[in-house]
Structure 1
Amino acid sequence: MAFTSPLLDKPAPGWKYDLATPDLPPTTQPYPSILSNPPNYANDVYLELARAKLRVHGIGIWLSVFLFFCSIVAIFILFAYISTTGSAPSILISIAFTINFITSLWGGIYCWRMDVESPRDQPIRFNRLRRKVYVYRFFHDGRRPFSRSAWGVRVETYNWDDLRAEACSVYGAMGTGGFIETVTLAVVSPGTNKVIDRFHFAHGIQQGEMYWALAQLFMQQGPQALPTFSRPPRDWNNEKVTFNLARRLAPKVKWPEDLDLESRTAP
């Protein structure tokens, strides 16, 4: 069953309903023909699913070029005005040009880093024997687009029993307006419903429910409970991305050696 009143404190932004907890049977049957990607890998020990917060690489890099152009134009117009009139513009005009320059430069750097530095995949591993979940996460901070420490990849480890899945729907700035539906995973303090962390799991509620069902089937019954996928797993690190500059520049997935070994092996 899906929980129709929030289980967690606090529920995710745009919360619609909670999915079945790790100890309950899945609420839906995963259909390979509907899922966008088959599991990256599955054996008796662990299941790895693809997970990316960005739907498409390549848009942000062109948006950043446009924003950089806007920042340069603001400076050019300001200097052209001064050279033409021989005097400085009014305070209000100067403030407007300064704000335009700063926000355009700020936004351009943010969009560039989000598109170029975000890994090609941010997989999540479910280790059935350790009952642990390993999440390859890309962290970023829009308030500090120039920071090196606030941006980068870290692998987070959680207990399987402490995960909770939530279906969410928020209004997003799209071409014609509309709702963005996702499934997020929350991490709760053991034995409580208090959320201590939360991260993106899948785009689309239907997709997210099915991927969550895959994880539940694997952790509860093993790899034999998973459906058969006709398509081979996608090789995220070695795919051909000739015409997508952002995908070419995006870093490959590289797990830390100790956590890579731990996440793939039994205790």
Structure 2
Amino acid sequence: MLFTTPLLDKPAPGWKHDLPGPNESPSNEPYPPVLSNPPNHVDDVYLELARATVRTRGIGIWIAPFMFLLSMVTPAGMISYVVTEQHLPPLVLSLLGPIVFITGIWLGIYIWRMDVAPPRDEPIRFNRFRRKVYVYRFYRDGLRPFSRTAWGVRIEVYDWDNLRAEACSVYGPMGSGGLIETVTLAVVKPGTHQVIDRFHFAHEIQQGEMYWAMAQLFMQQGPQALPAFPRPPRDWNNEDVTFNLARRWAPKVRWPAEIDLESRTAP
């Protein structure tokens, strides 16, 4: 069943409804033809699903140079004014110039990194025997677009029993406005509804509900409970031939050896 009042403290932004808990019956049945990707891997021990926090890539690398050029307009105008008029520009222009320059550079770097820095996939592994979930998470910090430590991949490990799924919808800045639907996973303090962490799981509520149902079926019953997919798994690291430059330049998925072994094996 879908819960119509928030179970968690606090619910996710744009909360719409909660999905069944990890050990409850799925709310729907996965239907492979409408799912964007088959599982990356499935066997008797673990299920790996593809995941991406950035849905559309390949546009930012073209917008970023435009932002860099735009940031140069005001400084160039100030220099031209000084050369032509032989005196300093008005105070307003003198204050506006550095603001426009810094903002343009900041936006350009941020847009570029958001397009190129995320890995080619941000997979999530469900280990049925360990009852653990391993998340390949990409972190970013918009306030520090030049930082190396604030951007990058970290591996997070959670207990399956402490995960909760939420369907969310918010309006984003898409011209006249656009509805963005997602399913997020929250990590709760054991035995409570208190959220201690939360991360993106899937784009679009319908797909997110089906992927969550796949995780539930696998963890509860095993791989035999999953539907058959007509397409083979996608090799996310083998995308060097794509015309999408952002994906070609993006880092490949590389699990740390110790976590990779643990997430793929039984105790």
Work out whether the TM-score is over 0.5: yes
* Mean CA deviation greater in 168-177 or 104-113: 168-177
Supply the AA of the counterpart residue of 1:158: Y
Q: Which runs of 4+ in 1 moved over 3 A?
A: none
Aligned to 1:245: 245
C-alpha contact 1:71 1:104 (8 A) present in aligned 2: yes
Extract unaligned runs of 5+ from structure 2: none
Aligned to 2:155: 155
1:63 CA drift (Å): 1.6
CA deviations on 1:155-176 (whole Å, 9 max, x unpaired) are 0000000001000000011244
Separation in 1, partners of 2:76, 2:151: 31
Aligned to 2:111: 111
Extract unaligned runs of 5+ from structure 1: none
| Alignment of structure 1 residues 2-17 onto 2, 5 Å | 2-17=2-17
C-alpha contact 1:38 1:231 (8 A) present in aligned 2: yes
Separation in 1, partners of 2:18, 2:158: 19
1:109 CA drift (Å): 0.5
Secondary structure of the residue aligned to 2:201 is: strand
CA deviations on 1:90-122 (whole Å, 9 max, x unpaired) are 221122221111111101101111111110000
Q: Is residue 29 of structure 1 aligned with residue 29 of structure 2?
A: yes
Count of residues in Structure 1 that have an aligned counterpart in Structure 2: 267
1:242 CA drift (Å): 3.4
1:49 CA drift (Å): 0.1
Supply the AA of the counterpart residue of 2:29: Q
Aligned to 1:179: 179
Separation in 1, partners of 2:65, 2:11: 37
CA deviations on 1:185-242 (whole Å, 9 max, x unpaired) are 0101111111111100000000000000000000000000000001000000013543
1:15 CA drift (Å): 0.4
Separation in 1, partners of 2:186, 2:242: 36
Aligned to 2:85: 85
Supply the AA of the counterpart residue of 1:248: R
Separation in 2, partners of 1:53, 1:238: 19
Q: Is residue 228 of structure 1 aligned with residue 228 of structure 2?
A: yes
Supply the AA of the counterpart residue of 1:122: E
Secondary structure of the residue aligned to 1:230 is: coil
Secondary structure of the residue aligned to 1:95 is: helix
Aligned to 2:43: 43
TM-score, normalised with respect to structure 2: 0.98
Supply the AA of the counterpart residue of 2:105: L
Separation in 1, partners of 2:116, 2:185: 25
| Alignment of structure 1 residues 130-149 onto 2, 5 Å | 130-149=130-149
1:151 CA drift (Å): 0.6
Aligned to 1:167: 167
The share of aligned pairs that are identical, in percent, is: 70
Separation in 2, partners of 1:21, 1:207: 17
C-alpha contact 2:51 2:123 (8 A) present in aligned 1: yes
C-alpha contact 2:239 2:248 (8 A) present in aligned 1: no
Supply the AA of the counterpart residue of 2:154: R
Q: Over the residues paired in the alignment, what is the CA RMSD in angstroms?
A: 1.0
Separation in 2, partners of 1:62, 1:31: 36
Aligned to 2:194: 194
